[in-house]
């Protein structure tokens, strides 16, 4: 493109320099503000992303802690049941070492009898039926 000869001449006086300097300063300030705004937006976006990541981690940790708490409670309940069962079994072992209890247990459970002893076995359902009819 060919450059046109301009008939307008720029005066190089104080007013023109002052206006040009002010315009240049204004554009520099606008550019600087735009740059600061962009940086602030990036920092805000980074802060939001970081906050979201931390929030997700906090929620995950809370849920896993809650799950562990539930597991702990169920394990404690199971331990209590097992401890009770162990006590009962210990008592049963202790009783089975007693000859009198052992004799009574065997007689009741396996229908053993002493010499010259007769055992009568009454059906439970019939005796209950008689009691219910009264």
d(CA 10, CA 120): 137
> 17: pLDDT confidence band, cut at 50, 70 and 90?
confident
**In contact, 44 and 51? CB cutoff 8 Å:** no
CB-based contact 121:111 (threshold 8 Å): yes
pLDDT digits (tens, 9 = 90+) for 37-76: 999 999 999 999 999 999 999 999 999 999 999 999 999 9
Query: What is residue 46's predicted lDDT score, i.e. its pLDDT?
Result: 98
More confident residue, 80 or 118: 80
Please list, in sequence order, all residues whose beta carbon lies within 8 angstroms of the beta carbon of residue 101, skipping any fewer than 6 positions away: 95
pLDDT attached to residue 132 = 52
What pLDDT band is residue 16 in, cutting at 50, 70 and 90? confident
Q: Provide the whole-model pTM.
A: 0.48
């Amino acid at each position: 493109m060919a450059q046109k000869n301009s008939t307008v001449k720029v005066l190089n006086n104080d007013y023109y320099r002052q206006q040009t300097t002010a315009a240049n300063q204004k554009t520099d300030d606008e550019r600087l503000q735009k740059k600061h705004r962009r940086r602030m937006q990036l920092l805000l976006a980074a802060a939001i992303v970081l906050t979201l990541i931390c929030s997700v981690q906090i929620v995950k940790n809370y849920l896993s802690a809650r799950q562990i708490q539930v597991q702990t409670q169920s394990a404690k309940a199971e331990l209590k049941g097992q401890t009770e069962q162990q006590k009962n079994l210990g008592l049963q072992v202790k009783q089975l070492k007693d000859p009198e209890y052992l004799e009574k247990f065997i007689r009741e459970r396996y229908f053993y009898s002493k010499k010259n002893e007769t055992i009568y076995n009454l059906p439970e359902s019939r005796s209950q039926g008689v009691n219910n009819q009264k």
